Every structure is written in C-alpha cells, then in structure tokens.
Amino acid sequence: MEKEKNSKNIMDYATVTLLDAENAIEIIDQTKLPGTIELIRLKSAQEIWDAIYLLKVRGAPAIGVAAGFGIYLLAKEIETEDYEVFYETFQKQKEYLNSSRPTAVNLSWALNRMERVCIANKNKPVAEIKELLHKEAIEIQEEDIRVCKSIGEHGLALVKPGDGILTHCNAGQLATSKYGTATAPIYLGEERGYHFHVFADETRPLLQGARLTSFELHAAGVDVTLICDNMSGAVMKQGLVQAVFVGCDRVAANGDTANKIGTSVVATVAKRYHVPFYVCAPTSTIDLNTATGDDICIEERPAEEVTEMWYQERMAPEGVKVYNPAFDVTDHDLISGIVTEYGIAREPYMESLKEILSKRNA
C-alpha cells in the first residue's frame, strides 16, 4: 500500500495496473480522493469484488480492465491440468465478479471476452490457456487507451476552441486507462491549445464530479469550474456552455443510455436551452440485446450515501425513507449524438448503432 499527499500529480498514476509477478492488481482507491492518493493491491476474489462494488475502482472502462485482470489472476491460481475442472472453477469466479455491479455492461463484456478465450482454446493445455488469458487481459487495457483517444478525436470535431463544456460524474482518466471518454475531447483539446472552459457537476450523492473530475482536470491544467448539480440550468441559460459531454455505462439498442444519476436531468435542461448533449460511449458499452432503457437493470445503493456520507453529522432525520438509484436512463430523443471510437451515431439509433458495430466487426 502506498499513500501520497501532494508529492505527485494524480495524472501521474495508472488507474489500474496488473502486477503479474505479485499476483495482484494495483488500483487507486478512489473513495479516498481527493484528500489522499492511496494505492491498494487486490489479490483475492473477495477483494476484487469489494473494490468494484464499493467504487474503489469505478467507471465502465476501468471496471472492464479490472475485471479482465481479476479473472486472469483468479484463473492463474486454479491448480489443475484438467480443462473441465479448470473451466468449471473459472465460470464460478466469473459469475461471482459479474455480480458486483449489474448496470455497467463493461464488467460482463470483459468477463465474457475472457471466457471466450477459455472456450476457443479448450483443446490446449491449461497452462497455455492461462497465458492466453494474460495476453487478452493486457489487450483489453491497451484497447481501452486506443478507444478513448479515438473517442476524443471524434468528440473534438463537435466543438471549437474556447467553448464552454459541461460534464457530469467522472468519465475521465480515473474512469479509464488514459484520457477518459467524456474528458477525452477536453484533454486532446488542451494539448492542442483549444482552451476550453469546463463546468463539472458535483454529482450527488457520491460527488464523483467534485472529488474526481474537478480534481484530475485541475491537476492537468484545464480551466475547470465546479458547480452543484442544480446549477447546470443557470450556466446554460447564461450561454456559458456550448456542449455537454457525459460518459455512459450502457447503451440500449434504441439509443437510450444509462449513466450516473442526474445525467437525464442535465440532458433535459440542455434540450431546453438548445445545447447539444453528447454521450461518449465505447462500443463495448453498446448492448443491442437490451431493447430500450426500460430494460436496463438499475443498481440501488445504500441510504447512508445520501443521509450520512461526507457529513460530520447526519443530514436527514432517523428513519426517513431514502431512494438511491446509482444510475438513470437518458431517453434517446434527448441525445444529440453518441460518440464512439468508430464515429458518431445519431438518430435513428436503431440503425446508426448497428452501423457503428459493423465498422468495429469489420
């Protein structure tokens, strides 16, 4: 475990690292940010599951990377040369990790991708399958970096130098391996002298916008202003925002998207003030088997996140009922475009998302 305070820039750390020789994953414990940068190592299935569920590692792409590394490490420890025994244990570990966060499709996407390696190579020795799983896990991370940069290039084409950009939650480098998704156009623009001004929603109740997005953008030298969630309408009405970029945990076949709670409110306000609202989504988050947003399973989280977390004293009466969904669904008619690594999907999404996936498969 390593703790750092102010001696290193948060952008100097990798979000998720495989320490293969030590049979561990190293992550930044994001529940401690921005006050303390603490690196923790995960070795057991329980530790990996807890890290995902408790949001120590979070953001759809980063969860996928952590899942790929995690299932590889667990498979590496299966002591058998019998494929059937190996695969049965692998499946149990896979299903266990998959239960940690049901909404983020990258979790199941990465685990299913790793499972396909097992199935496709079932006639090979178990030791060789383990090495192939290692290579696939590394490729998932390297692919994430390529994908995020490509999303950034496509997103950058939608804005111009000096624009005001609003974002919600954290879809930045801390949610991926590099660049982020919603922040990728911002980081690329910063490198090229676009001088954007970014408004970051605080993102109640877990404050990912305040603790993470404003933290990393400020550390990277981006001109960023933190606002409360209920201030987005005020800055849009004043003409301070020319585009909204948000991330995404799942895209349904009709273009509905699930993202951090409050995203649909931002989209509704953006439509009222004629501000284009863009969802930055790797193709790994597109789920054509989910017809509409109504079919997306929305995770509900503990009441204490609303009533007690971040407060010195409880800020709600004892016994009051609390509704705390982690995500909401933004209807497709509120979305100006879905920015992927293979281009921008627009209405009608039933057609354009299939075209995007066809480009990927080609």
Mention every residue, 6+ apart, whose C-beta is less than 8 A from residue 148. 61, 176, 177, 178, 179, 180, 181, 184, 282, 341
SS3 category, 76: helix
Buried b / exposed e across 229-240, counting CB within 10 Å, b at 16+?
beebeebbeeeb
What is the rounded CA–CA span in Å between residue 360 and residue 362?
Answer: 5
What is the rounded CA–CA span in Å between residue 45 and residue 73?
Answer: 9
Structure tokens given for 196: 């954007």
What is the rounded CA–CA span in Å between residue 213 and residue 198?
Answer: 10
Structure tokens given for 68: 């790929």
Is 223 an annotated catalytic residue? no
Residue 332 and residue 255 in contact, taking contact as beta carbons nearer than 8 Å: yes
What is the rounded CA–CA span in Å between residue 194 and residue 107?
Answer: 34
CB atoms within 10 A of CB 216: 25
Which among 144, 163, 229, 249 is annotated as catalytic?
249
CB atoms within 10 A of CB 254: 19
Q: Which amino acid is at 330?
A: T
What is the rounded CA–CA span in Å between residue 196 and residue 165?
Answer: 7
Residues with a known catalytic role: 249
